[in-house]
Amino acid sequence: MRTAVDFAAALLFLIGSILFFWKSLETVAIWFFVAGSFFFAAKPTLKLYREIRLARAGDYEDLAARERAPED
């Protein structure tokens, strides 16, 4: 899921960057950047949600394993 969020954010920023080549599409480009920013903000939100869910379930081993694992 987090990989899909990263890909969506990158794609939206890429499209927004390309749209800035045309003055008439500047407003649309800005909205692509806003949407891409939303997806970048979603990634840590998803991680926090998962960690809270694991903690509430008492699954401390998975939480500890996530702390030892390198970030993707």
List the chain pLDDT tens, one digit each, 72 residues.
678 888 999 999 999 999 999 999 999 999 999 999 999 999 888 888 888 888 888 877 777 776 666 655
Is residue 6 a contact partner of residue 51, using CB atoms and an 8 Å limit? no
- Is residue 21 exposed (0-12), middle (13-18) or buried (19+ Cβ within 10 Å)? exposed
- Give dist(CA 27, CA 53) in Å, integer: 39
pLDDT given at position 29 = 97
* Dist CA 39 CA 11 (whole Å): 10
What pLDDT does 67 receive? 63
Every domain of the chain and the residues it spans: 2-68
